[in-house]
Amino acid sequence: MNQLPSIPPRDPGFQLGAPMDISATATPAPKFRVKKYLHILRKFWWIPLVTLILALGAAVAEFKSEPPEFVATASMWQTEKLNLGSGAEFAEDQQTYFGTLTAVLQSGTLRDLALQRLAAAGTNNIAVDKNGNPIDVEISVSQAPGSEVFEVQGISLNSVFTPIYLNALIDSYLDYKRTARKDISDVTLNSISDQLARLGEDMKSDQAILTQYEESNNIVVLEQDNQVGGTYLATLRTELADYQLQSNVLSAVALEKGNSFSYETTNVANSLFEQVAGNQTASSPVSQSEMEFQQIETLKFQRAKLGRYLRPDHPKIVDLDKQIAEAQNLLDVYKTQNQQDLATARQALQIRMDGVENAIAYWEGRVNFDSARIAEAEDLKANITRNQSMFDELTTLMNSVDITKNIDQDPLAILQRASGSTHSYAKLKSNIQMASFGGLALGLGIVFLIAWRDDRFSSVVEVNERVGDSVVGQVPEIPELRHGAPAGLLANGSDQHMYVESYRSLRSALLYFAVDGVRPKVLLITSAVPDEGKSTIASNLSCAMALGGSRVLLIDADLRKGALHEVMGLKGKPGLADLLLQPGDLDKIIQSSPMPNLSFLARGSGQRNPGDLFVSRAFDSILAKVREQYDYVIIDTSPVFAADDATTLAPKADGTLFVVRSRFSRSGIVKEALDLLYQRQAAVLGLILNRTDANDRSYHYYKYSEYHKVAEM
């Protein structure tokens, strides 16, 4: 027997024999997938076809049940438009013109005018209904893209009346437009005349006011006075600025501290003092103070020079001290005099500034008064000019309207009159279009509802969304077996590499599916309902395990309808049922298959109530013996909802593999079956998605056939 190495557990929290709650990770609201809808559409393609045929039949029947309609056609076109100036042009864009034309031709006013025209002709050609009223004529207008030709169609139940009414309608339209234009021109002329009269009176009144104003005010003198006053006002403002500057300089000199005067400050002070005092020849107190200050500095320098050689009581030193004291006293006198003179100069300067400011205020008032009177005169002139311009424009406009009053400006003319009518199929075409759209929409909607309510799995993504992320293997569908042919057993050298590799992948998942370091040996294969492919999965998985070198026993535990012996090509009796009814030699009943390492235990004689046999001690004894003899024991049992056998056997196995079939198994039934297994304490290892679509985007496995070809050396 092949001994496989022990593998550490994949999930320490997972206990052997404990159920794995797959539903814990299930998504509550599965998504709707377009691929599934297309698959349902391929299956129920006949539904949209039937609804389309029924809708088209109803449209044709409705058309035949109604009285025939007749259509007549006339053409109108836009001629060149005479441009007589802005007053004669009524411009509108092409789309607006087309919409207006359609609305007017379909209006009740034009219908009444057309009937009045026909009645005035006295030919008694107005068709009436059973109540004696004129029959309705449906009017439609169309325009070919890029052209100025309008096609007017009339549809009614009378073939003779339709073209007659249509010609009367377009004639009434042209007459109505001419009459409306004349009425509008008359109203416009009256309105313009009233405005011209009002403007003439306003112009006379404004001219009289301007003449009276000019008589009472000499505008020329006012303009000259205003110009002279403005010039003098600018001179006064400049003079005031100069005085303000002089005042600031005198204030700075007055605030000078100490006995020292800078030459620049002294010169500025002397100049300002002389300007304010009006004396340019006499020496100012500021100049005298500067002279005394320089003399004191000279004496102090001489004393310091002699003081280095002579004592303080030397006659020369004493004489110098005396001179310095006298000069200092004189400087103090000059400083006091300077402060008084500066204050006098500042006071005189302020008087001059006040006089200039009063003059500025006077001339500002005078200039403003003259400017206001000049502006008033300009406003009167501008008002007269504006009214004159409006008067000239209205005069031109009135002349243009008067010219166009009796000239037909409408660019629309009759190109071709209606000469006869033909049987109309427009309603049939409309009904067919609506029926086609409605029938297809109804059929596709029915298919959509079927797809929406269909909870069958179509891909591994849907299995993960609705049941949980628990798929341990996917087996693709074999195209050759889509019509119900039985699948053969796996064998070395098979050309169906994708199919074979899927079982190898499932085998690898089970080989490394360790629980607490112990690999599950007894595996139960079941499904929710029949025809999901569990027996095929069990037999081919056994072959894959045997091809991998493991000793495998395949047990057919479906004692009611088991047919694995036919798939294996072995005998169906004796088997498991016989051992459970009458214990015997297990080794003699177990059959060897043509494939190495694979043994088989058939179902044996058919039983009606095999569930009673699975709870017996005999089955536990058989299971204990084969557990010791084989690396893996794979049990194929009946579906969960077919009999109670699966839920009875599942707790006795190390793990259960649940098979779901793509586009066959329903999520609600699968969830109920899994819940039932959980209630029986079954350890569900995962789900196997059978017959999945290898072309689906979610399927990525083993599609590269070039990797399965023998490389040439």
How does pLDDT run across 51-85, given as a tens digit for each residue? 889 988 888 888 788 788 888 889 888 775 545 45
Whether 538 and 592 have beta carbons less than 8 Å apart is answered as no
285 or 490, which is more confident: 490
Q: Bigger pLDDT: 555 or 341?
A: 555
Of 364, 387, 404, which closes a domain? 404
Give the model's pLDDT for residue 524: 92
Q: Which of 441, 390, 585, 385 is nearest to 47 (CA)?
A: 441
Amino acid identity of residue 215, one-letter, is E
Number of other CB atoms surrounding residue 545 within 10 Å: 26
Could you list the beta-strand ranges (E) of 92-190: 138-143, 149-156
Residues 515 and 651 grouped into a single domain: yes
Q: Helix axis angle, 315-404 relative to 285-307, nearest 10°? A: 140
Question: What is residue 661's predicted lDDT score, i.e. its pLDDT?
Answer: 87
Question: Per-residue pLDDT averaged across 524-546, rounded?
Answer: 87
Residues 502 and 396 in one domain: no
- Cβ atoms 91, 83 nearer than 8 A: no
**Same domain, residue pair 368 and 235:** yes
What is the per-residue pLDDT for 20? Answer: 47
Q: What is residue 18's predicted lDDT score, i.e. its pLDDT? A: 41
Q: Which residues pair with 141 in a beta bridge?
A: 152
pLDDT at 127: 80
Q: Is the pLDDT of residue 672 over 50?
A: yes
Q: Which residue has the higher pLDDT, 310 or 268?
A: 310
Spell 319-329 as b/e; 16+ CB within 10 A means b: ebeebbeebbe
Q: CA-CA distances (angstroms) from residue 594 to 47, 261, 269, 570?
A: 50, 134, 136, 9
* String of DSSP letters for 176-202: HHHHHHHHHHHHHHHHHHHHHHHHHHH
Residue 12 pLDDT exceeds 70: no
| In a shared domain, residues 678 and 546 | yes
In a domain, 369, yes or no: yes
Residues 557 and 694 occupy one common structural domain: yes
- Phi/psi at 113 (nearest 5 deg)? -65, -40
Domain final residue, candidates 404, 434, 452:
404
Which stretch of 82-86, 226-230, 487-491, 574-578 has the lowest confidence by average pLDDT? 82-86
Q: CA-CA distance, 468 to 471, in Å (whole number)?
A: 8
CA angle centred on 686, ends 556 and 25, rounded to 5°: 150
Least confident of 213-217, 270-274, 600-604: 270-274
Most confident residue range from 91-105, 288-302, 544-558: 544-558
What's the confidence (pLDDT) of residue 279?
Answer: 47
Please compute the mean of the pLDDT values over residues 146-168 and round it to a whole number. Answer: 86
Strands 138-143 and 149-156: antiparallel
**In terms of domains, do 395 and 521 share one?**
no
Domain assignment of residue 451, yes or no: no
Helix (H, G, I), strand (E, B) or coil at 152: strand
Domain of residue 234: give its range: 220-404
Comparing C-alpha atoms, which of 652, 650, 584, 643 is closest to residue 620?
652
CB 533 within 8 A of CB 474: no
The answer to whether residues 531 and 392 belong to one domain is no
Q: Do the domain assignments include residue 422?
A: no
Alpha-carbon 116 to chain mean position: 57
Report the alpha-carbon distance of residue 388 to residue 533 in Å, rounded: 102
In Å, how far are 60, 233, 350, 359, 370 from 237, measured between CA atoms? 101, 6, 15, 10, 19
Q: What is the pLDDT of residue 132?
A: 81
Q: Based on the domain organization, do 390 and 502 belong to the same domain?
A: no
CATH number at residue 382: 1.20.1270
* 57 inside domain: no
- Per the structure block, which two tokens stand in for 612? 């009673």
Interval 527-550 mean pLDDT: 86
Longest dimension (CA), the chain: 164
User: Rounded CA gap, 501 and 504, in Å?
Assistant: 5
Shared-domain flag, residues 253 and 377: yes
pTM for the model: 0.47
Model confidence at 217: pLDDT above 70: yes
Instruction: Give the C-alpha distances (Å, rounded to integers) separating 148 from 104, 410, 497.
Output: 18, 14, 70
> Which single residue is written with the structure tokens 């004291």?
325
SS3 80: coil
DSSP-derived secondary structure for 313-336: TSHHHHHHHHHHHHHHHHHHHHHH
Residue 675 forms part of a structural domain: yes
Q: What pLDDT, on a 0 to 100 scale, did the predictor assign at position 17?
A: 39
Q: Over 80: is that where the pLDDT of 154 sits?
A: yes
Task: Judge if 369 and 228 occupy the same domain.
Answer: yes
- Residue 666's region, left for phi above 0, alpha for psi from -120 to 50, else beta, is beta
Separation between Cα atoms, residue 460 and residue 472, nearest integer Å: 10
Closest residue by Cα to residue 417 from 110, 149, 73: 73
Judged by average pLDDT, the poorest of 211-225, 266-280, 495-509 is 266-280
Domain boundary among 357, 380, 404: 404
CATH number at residue 580: 3.40.50.300
Q: Is pLDDT of 26 > 50?
A: no
- When divided into structural domains, the chain yields a total of 2
Among 241, 239, 289, CA closest to 263: 289
Greatest mean pLDDT range, 346-355, 509-518, 596-605, 692-701: 596-605
Please indicate, yes or no, if residue 545 is contained in any of the structural domains: yes
pLDDT at 404: 57
Q: Provide, rounded to the nearest whole percent, the portion of the chain with pLDDT above 90.
A: 2
| Residue 663 forms part of a structural domain | yes
**Lowest mean pLDDT segment, chosen from 10-14, 438-442, 609-613, 628-632:** 10-14
pLDDT for 429: 84
Flag whether 547 is in a domain: yes
| Ramachandran class of 203: left when φ > 0, alpha when ψ lies in -120 to 50, beta otherwise | alpha
Identify the three-state secondary structure at position 74: strand
Asked if residue 138 lies in contact with residue 155, where contact means CB atoms within 8 angstroms, the answer is yes
> Same domain for 397 and 509?
no
pLDDT category at 407 given cuts 50, 70, 90 is: low
Banded pLDDT at 93 (limits 50, 70, 90): low
Query: Phi, psi at residue 89, to the nearest 5°?
Result: -105, 125
Q: Mean pLDDT in the chain? A: 76
Lowest mean pLDDT among 103-107, 292-296, 556-560: 292-296
Q: How far apart are CA 451 and CA 162, in angstroms?
A: 52
Torsion sign across C-alpha atoms 313, 314, 320, 323: positive
Mean pLDDT of 370-382: 81
Q: Helix 108-121 vs helix 94-105: angle between axes, to the nearest 10 degrees?
A: 50
pLDDT of residue 633: 92
